[in-house]
Amino acid sequence: MIMMKKLISIVLVCMMILLSLSGCSAKPVSAPDDDYRNWYEIFVYSFYDSNGDGIGDLNGVTEKLDYIADMSFNGIWLMPIMQSPSYHKYDVADYYTIDSQYGTNADFQTLVEQAHKRGIRVIIDLPVNHTSSENQWFIAAKDVNSPYHGWYNWSDKPSVGYHELSDMLYYEGRFQSGMPDLNLESGEVRAEIEKIMDFWLNDMGADGFRLDACTSYYTDDQQKSVDFLGWLNTEAKTVKPGSFVVGEVWSVLTTIQTYYRSGVDSLFCFPTANTDGYLAAAVNSSKPEKAASIYCDALTTLQNSLGDVIISPFLDNHDLARSAGFLGTDETKIKFAAGLLSILPGGTFVYYGDEIGMKGTGNDPNKRIGMLWTTEDKTTKPPPGATSVKYSFPSVKDQEKDKNSILNYYKAAMKLRAECPEIARGTVEILQSPINSVAILKKTYNGSSIYIAINFSSEKQQLTLNSNLGITKTIGQLSVNGKSTAKIKSAGAQLTLAPYGILVLD
């Protein structure tokens, strides 16, 4: 049976390759070869409340699927949704039940069904480093004679990362005492994880998993952690061929490179994110020529270091300060950063609310406040522990009406990315530019090439590209406050790039 499932998986992959497009042809986001190109991260608690209790829920996500599809996202990552005693739900009490705050198992199945109708895939967080201390497995494991005792890690003396249960009995809980670590060497634990994956992928219809804290599977043993990640990825695809698995390796590029040896579909590209990431460094640079160099060097580094893998670049997420803050609450910078993100390779992830310039810093609850759909009094209530709830830009409703809003810039950027497979899947070549503050990129995928011109300057730039490039048309453009244009003549493509403008050419 396992061999048959693996054979089916190979056949499906081959079919997807045969169906792949050549060139940029404005195909629907639901096409079978779009390879998880545009992702949207959702903290259900704070997204949209459908029943008036002040807490977001799965039915609320379902109600907003048209919004998500209209933004050209073809994948949703739901942060933990399983039964848990905490607001963040990374400490799972029951792996087979939707948390009652969010709804029911049937609500999740409805969400998946409706998402699939719109060409949107749904992956869920799968935290298996640890459980909740309220999980029935751990409650039973406190009895040293219980068959569940071996599901956790124990010591008879105090040690770093261990918590006292009773005299001469300590359990491992690296994150906190309420999160006892699972014994991932246990055959019984691994068999249970297989059942959990089968349940969510097949019974519930999920399309894959986001795996939390992959570097912490085995403390101070990178190879074991890599091997376990590989096992999870293989089992997911055995259970359901075509399942997508993306892992969190919060580390430098060399470490991320090592974890790709697991064979996992993708890993989050932390070097693009946060205040010190490639994108912020380029956007916040006061020297346009340096900004262009930073961005081009980043593209080259990622390609040369990681090779032919699918990366998952992003600006921020639920653990990091929101990008609107570290970009100085500057609308121009926020838009330009979104534009630069949108033309990176791989599968980009956008954290809910970033598309309207939401801010959040400090403790984790501050980074997970309610999505501003209309007015503040109609948002979800702040997560427990939030100390700052402030919105610097208008609501979704208001920004939808403004063609120059952050929201509409994001929409244009994600749409362009969805329509052009070369952007997300192409190999990149940095071409010589006649102006140092303008970067010229060539991206090639399946024999089709496109060109991207990026103005890193606050001034309008005009330039002419070599006619040997064979450019015949403009595919799309992104502009923070003006219009970029291209005139195609026999002498070459004459470009006028608005400040921080991006032109995509064929």
The CATH number of whichever domain residue 293 belongs to comes to 3.20.20.80
Q: Clarify whether residues 226 and 286 are in a common domain.
A: yes
pTM across the whole model: 0.93
Q: Clarify whether residues 112 and 219 are in a common domain.
A: yes
First CA to last CA distance, the chain: 47
Q: Clarify whether residues 222 and 323 are in a common domain.
A: yes
Q: Has 107 been annotated as catalytic?
A: no
Which of 425, 459, 491 is where one domain is finished? Answer: 425
Q: State the pairing for strand pair 154-155/169-172.
A: antiparallel
Q: Which of 336, 332, 309 is nearest to 249 (CA)?
A: 309
Tell me, what amino acid is at 424?
Answer: A
Between 261 and 20, residue with greater pLDDT: 261
| Tens of pLDDT, residues 344-403 | 999 999 999 999 999 999 999 999 999 999 999 999 999 999 999 999 999 999 999 999
Which of 381, 399, 425 is where one domain is finished? Answer: 425
d(CA 360, CA 382): 12
Which of 405, 425, 445 is where one domain is finished? Answer: 425
How much is the pLDDT for 7?
Answer: 42
Token pair for residue 134?
A: 């309220």
Q: Is residue 2 part of a domain?
A: no
Q: Clarify whether residues 193 and 206 are in a common domain.
A: yes
Q: Clarify whether residues 285 and 137 are in a common domain.
A: no
Q: State the pairing for strand pair 169-172/162-166.
A: antiparallel
Expressed as residue numbers, the domain containing 278 is: 7-131+186-425
Contact criterion met (CB below 8 Å) for 228 and 218 = yes
Q: Clarify whether residues 148 and 275 are in a common domain.
A: no
d(CA 489, CA 483): 19
| Tens of pLDDT, residues 419-435 | 999 999 999 999 999 99
How much is the pLDDT for 17?
Answer: 34
Q: Is residue 209 part of a domain?
A: yes
Q: Is residue 1 part of a domain?
A: no
Q: Of the listed 107, 248, 265, 331, which one is catalytic?
A: 248
d(CA 408, CA 402): 8
Number of domains in the chain: 3
Q: Clarify whether residues 158 and 34 are in a common domain.
A: no
With a cut of 80, say whether residue 479 has pLDDT above it: yes
Contact criterion met (CB below 8 Å) for 408 and 399 = yes
| Tens of pLDDT, residues 439-463 | 999 999 999 999 999 999 999 999 9
Token pair for residue 18?
A: 């045969």
d(CA 171, CA 110): 39
Count, residues in the chain:
506
d(CA 449, CA 104): 47
Q: Clarify whether residues 179 and 191 are in a common domain.
A: no
Q: Of the listed 212, 316, 355, 422, which one is catalytic?
A: 212
d(CA 428, CA 438): 16
Q: Clarify whether residues 110 and 178 are in a common domain.
A: no
Q: CATH code at 474?
A: 2.60.40.1180
**Average pLDDT taken over every residue of the chain:** 93
For 463, phi then psi, to 5°, come to -160, 165
Q: Is residue 113 part of a domain?
A: yes
Contact criterion met (CB below 8 Å) for 135 and 141 = no
How much is the pLDDT for 380?
Answer: 98
d(CA 1, CA 193): 19
Q: Clarify whether residues 62 and 162 are in a common domain.
A: no
Convert 360-429 into a string of H (helix), E (strand) and C (coil): CCCCHHHHHCCCCCCCHHHCCCCCCCCCCCCCCCCCHHHHHHCCCCHHHHHHHHHHHHHHCHHHHHCEEE
DSSP secondary structure string for all residues of 295-330: HHHHHHHHHHHH-SSEEEEBS--TTS--HHHHTTT-
Looking up tokens 């939401």, which residue turns up? 358
Q: Is residue 120 part of a domain?
A: yes
Q: Clarify whether residues 370 and 303 are in a common domain.
A: yes
Contact criterion met (CB below 8 Å) for 194 and 186 = no
Contact criterion met (CB below 8 Å) for 103 and 68 = no
> What percent of the chain lies above the pLDDT cut of 90?
90
Q: Clarify whether residues 334 and 314 are in a common domain.
A: yes
How much is the pLDDT for 1?
Answer: 40
How much is the pLDDT for 24?
Answer: 56
| Tens of pLDDT, residues 140-177 | 999 999 999 999 999 999 999 999 998 889 999 999 99
- Residue 489, burial from CB neighbour count under 10 angstroms (0-12, 13-18, 19+): exposed
d(CA 334, CA 404): 12
Q: Is residue 223 part of a domain?
A: yes
d(CA 75, CA 171): 38
| Tens of pLDDT, residues 18-72 | 333 334 533 333 333 446 789 999 999 999 999 999 999 999 999 999 999 999 9
Q: What is the largest CA-CA distance in the chain?
A: 84
Confidence of residue 491 (pLDDT cuts 50, 70, 90): confident
Q: CATH code at 175?
A: 3.90.400.10
d(CA 417, CA 493): 22
Summarize the confidence of residues 7-17 as an average pLDDT. 38
How much is the pLDDT for 21?
Answer: 34
Q: How many CB atoms lie within 10 A of CB 33?
A: 16
Contact criterion met (CB below 8 Å) for 370 and 381 = yes
Classify residue 80 by its DSSP letter: P
